[in-house]
Structure 1
Amino acid sequence: MMSYAQPTQEEFKALLENSSTIAVVGLSDDPTRTSHLVAAAMQQRGYRIIPVNPKASSILGETCYARLQDVPEHIDIVNVFRRSEFCLEVAKDAVEVGADTLWLQQGIVNEEAYQYAKDHGLEVVMDACIKVVDAVVKPNRG
């Protein structure tokens, strides 16, 4: 069992520079929710946001998909706004669709999901806000 270590600033920078498409699992259509605020900020910084939310048809001007498996294009980062107990299932979906990175938002940690994604070749970030990290490692993007 590997133990998780947060990527270095350089690793975060490389990961984000090589990513353009972010599927946001658990993206809320409520503009006051953290997932919506973070996704909107990433969209403004030039990333393509793909909402994964079975209850909405469109968020931030983008078509929503019920599941990662329904997204018709390559996903660089699967950004997860779901409780920890749902993350292993999301990790399995991310592996199935061939995503490059599984990113669990700040406050979300799941060792099983980490191990599964790692074992299947994905980069994994846990307990970190993608918006904050992006602003720190790439301050002039967007």
Structure 2
Amino acid sequence: MHYIRIMMYIDTLTDADITRILKDTKVIALVGASAKPERPSHRVGNFLASKGYKVIPVNPGQAGKTLFGETCVASLSEITEPVDMVDIFRRAEEVGAVVDEALHALTGLKYVWMQLDLVNEKAAALARAQGAEVVMDRCPAIEIPRLGL
């Protein structure tokens, strides 16, 4: 007989929390940015840029190209300006390394946002321990219109 362990994530963030985070954020590093219009990271990056956020695309395969009106960088460590939020479009098993790099490389990081279906409690705990707030399993391109922002 095989047993499957099911972990359940319970989101405790309120609408007021998400509103505060989105209003406080000005600069977003979008990890996993794609140049392909059909990819969620491309659509979300464009949406955030259209809402006035500065979206710095991060993807080694797109480095040097322009996405969302900004030059794409290969890694978070190449970003020299303060970043409020890192928005992660990577697989759950890659999130820990992304969060670790973000915490070490980004000046002023306040928020770690993991996209829909993306939950990594270990990475979240690491971010919280360093003073960053964490949002998991949500999309800002859904939350902004839902909250009327």
Query: With structure 2 as the length reference, what TM-score do the two structures score?
Result: 0.87
**Could you say which structure has the greater relative contact order, defined with CA pairs below 8 angstroms and 6 or more residues apart?**
1
One-letter code aligned to 1:134: I
Runs of 4+ in structure 1 off by over 6 angstroms are none
- 1:106 and 2:116 aligned: yes
Query: What RMSD in Å do the two structures reach over aligned CA positions?
Result: 1.3
CA distance in structure 1 between the aligned counterparts of 2:52 and 2:71, rounded to whole angstroms: 17
Displacement of 1:95 in angstroms is: 1.1
Equivalence map 1:1-142=2 (5 Å): 5-56=11-62, 57=64, 58-96=66-104, 97-98=106-107, 99-137=109-147, 139=148, 141=149
2 CA distance for matches of 1:27 and 1:101? Answer: 18
Gap runs ≥5 in structure 1: none
Bigger Cα Rg? 2
C-alpha displacement of 1:62: 1.0
Identify unmatched segments of 5+ residues in structure 2: 1-8
SS in structure 2 at match of 1:103: strand
Identity of aligned residues (%): 35
